[in-house]
Structure formats: C-alpha cells, structure tokens
C-alpha cells in the first residue's frame, strides 16, 4: 500500500472520533503529496480533542512519521492518548 493510501486508511479509522472535515482535509493533503502535513494534521486534531487511540494506531502513526519525516514530538504527544482497548 502506498504512503498516501496508508494515511487515508488510518484517517478513516477516526471517522467517528474526529471531525470528518479534518479527515477529508488530511486525505486531500496526502493526495497532493503533502503526506507529512497530513500526518501532523491528524495528530494535532487527535491530541487537541483528547481522542483515545489504540496502541496499534499509535504504532501506525509512529511509522508514518518516520516515513514522512513528520515532527516526532507531535507524534509522541499521542502516547498519552493510548487506551488499552478500542474506543
């Protein structure tokens, strides 16, 4: 799966947890090869609205951050949102 498709996939996992417009905007950035911005945007929204995430989702964001060279500190802020079970 290509990078932009993986970003779309993880964004769609949050469709019932964050504003769908944010997901749409992030997907649009990914479509235009702005994958770093897309990952950072999703992370910022999750953190800002204190959205619980799974450990698997956190690991996916870490991997995407490495691949896109996204701000590592932004990704690490998501660690505090990890819950032991799915939201």
**Could you write out the DSSP letters of every residue in 23-45?**
HHHHHHHHHTT-HHHHHHHHHHH
- Tell me the pLDDT of the chain averaged across its residues: 92
* Domains: count for the chain: 1
Question: DSSP H helical segments within 1-87, as ranges?
Answer: 3-12, 20-31, 35-48, 55-68, 72-77
* Banded model confidence at residue 6, pLDDT cuts 50, 70, 90: very high
Domain annotation covers residue 87? no
Q: Which domain holds residue 38?
A: 3-81
Domain annotation covers residue 86? no
pTM of the full structure:
0.89
Domain annotation covers residue 29? yes
């Amino acid at each position: 799966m290509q990078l932009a498709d993986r970003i779309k996939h993880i964004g769609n996992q949050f469709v019932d947890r964050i504003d769908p417009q944010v997901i749409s905007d992030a997907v649009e950035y990914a479509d235009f090869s702005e994958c770093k911005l897309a990952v950072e945007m999703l992370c910022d929204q999750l953190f800002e609205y204190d959205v619980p995430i799974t450990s698997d989702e956190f690991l996916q964001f870490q991997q995407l951050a490495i691949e896109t060279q996204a701000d590592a500190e932004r990704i690490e802020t998501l660690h505090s949102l990890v819950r032991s079970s799915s939201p």
